[in-house]
């Protein structure tokens, strides 16, 4: 039976404003891909990212362009060479995983060998702001076991100290979003070590991170913008201790599974991360993160409105998706 592909843009309001070193936004724009066979339909969601040269219109066009191939029987494995890694392939790949599970009367978790699904702790993200404002947010969320704080300015010391004072018992992840420099790297890393930060994510710009190989890394350093797919891992071993795997970078769950296995083989700690999207985008990543070292899958917690069949969160615990959502 022939398959049909549809793709649409959807908007979800953010609760307040989400700010990183590259800018702010008040809504999450996502693209939802639906692939149907008869009366059965599978869904996938992606979040195009301008930092990687993606736009809503461009990704939407890339998804729709593969429609004829899908109708002609393109498989999920063939998709890996048919489309380049990135948001567009992620939406199509995850829609195919969902469709395959529904057609077969199975769950994606079983297909990827995850036999015991369980809830786990996800980081909760604090937007970049002035030290006092970030400290107030940290204090409000100090009950959470893991906070991720957006930094990436010339003077993050005041922010780090204020946040740590406000949440003295909480584990902290710092995400600099490529905002530090070779000149202030050592200083900021020393402050991170002093304030007991567990992990620093992408302190230097991708392609300009060689300095990480030449310093003593006092805190675990995680690659994000520097790593997209499995082929990138080997070259990063001298400068990073961990990698952040996001489905919108890898181009879907299929490549993410391969990348995670290789990262673990090479000795990297693994974080499973996300863009700001709905529960539909998080659902496949929740399966991927079952045995990860860190999870940052709080996208729906940052929204004012999620999908009606969204993931269940209990504090900082995120629960596996129901079949009605995905997989």
Does 150 qualify as catalytic in the annotation?
yes
Catalytic residue selected from 148, 246, 249, 260: 246
- Taking alpha carbons only, the member of 215, 183, 185 closest to residue 200 is 185
For residues 164 and 194, the answer to whether their CB atoms sit within 8 Å is no
Catalytic site includes residue 208: no
**169: number of Cβ within 10 Å:** 8
**SS3 letters for the chain?**
CCEEEEEEEEEEEEEEEEEECCEEEEEEEEEEEEEEECCEEEEEEECCCHHHCCCHHHHHHHHHHCHHHHHCCCCHHHHHHHCCCCHHHHHHHHHHHHHHHHHHCCCHHHHCCCCCCCCEECCEEECCCCHHHHHHHHHHCCCCCEEEEECCCCCCHHHHHHHHHHCCCCEEEEECCCCCCHHHHHHHHHHHHHCCEEEEECCCCCCCCHHHHCCCCCCEEEECCCCCCHHHCHHHCCCCCEEEECHHHHCCHHHHHHHHHHHHHHCCEEEECCCCCCHHHHHHHHHHHHHCCEECCCHHHHECCCCCCCCCEECCEECCCCCCCCC
Query: What's the CA gap between 44 and 48, in Å, rounded?
Result: 13
For 242, counting Cβ atoms within 10 Å of its Cβ (0-12 exposed, 13-18 middle, 19+ buried), the class is buried
Which member of 102, 118, 140, 150 is catalytic? 150
- Positions marked active-site: 150, 246
């Amino acid at each position: 039976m022939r398959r049909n592909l549809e793709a649409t843009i959807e908007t979800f309001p953010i609760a307040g404003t989400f700010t990183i070193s590259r800018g702010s936004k008040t809504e999450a724009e996502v693209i939802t891909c639906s692939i149907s066979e008869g009366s059965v339909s599978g869904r996938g969601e992606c979040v195009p990212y301008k930092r990687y040269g993606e736009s809503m219109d461009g990704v939407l066009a890339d998804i729709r362009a593969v429609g004829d191939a899908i109708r002609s029987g393109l498989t999920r494995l063939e998709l890996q060479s048919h489309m380049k890694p990135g948001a567009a392939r992620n939406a199509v790949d995850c829609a195919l995983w969902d469709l395959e599970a529904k057609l077969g009367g199975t769950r994606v978790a079983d297909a990827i060998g995850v036999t015991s699904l369980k809830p786990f702790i996800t980081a909760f993200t604090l937007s970049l702001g002035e030290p006092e404002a970030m400290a107030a947010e940290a204090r409000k969320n100090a009950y959470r076991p893991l906070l991720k704080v957006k930094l990436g300015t010339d003077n993050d010391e005041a922010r780090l100290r204020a946040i740590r004072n406000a949440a003295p018992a909480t584990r902290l992840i710092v995400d600099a979003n490529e905002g530090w420099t070779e000149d202030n790297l050592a200083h900021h890393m020393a402050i991170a070590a002093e304030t007991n930060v567990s992990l620093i994510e992408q302190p230097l710009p991708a392609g300009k991170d060689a300095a990480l190989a030449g310093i003593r890394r006092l805190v675990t350093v995680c690659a994000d913008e520097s790593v997209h797919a499995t082929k990138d891992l080997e070259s990063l071993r001298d400068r990073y201790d961990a990698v952040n795997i996001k489905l919108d970078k890898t181009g879907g769950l299929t490549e993410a599974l391969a990348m995670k296995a290789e990262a673990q083989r090479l000795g990297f700690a693994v974080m499973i991360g996300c863009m700001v999207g709905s529960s539909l985008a998080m659902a496949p990543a929740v399966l991927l993160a079952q045995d990860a070292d860190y999870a940052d899958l709080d996208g729906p917690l940052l929204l004012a409105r999620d999908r009606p069949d969204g993931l269940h969160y209990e504090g900082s615990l995120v629960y596996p998706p129901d079949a009605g959502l995905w997989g």
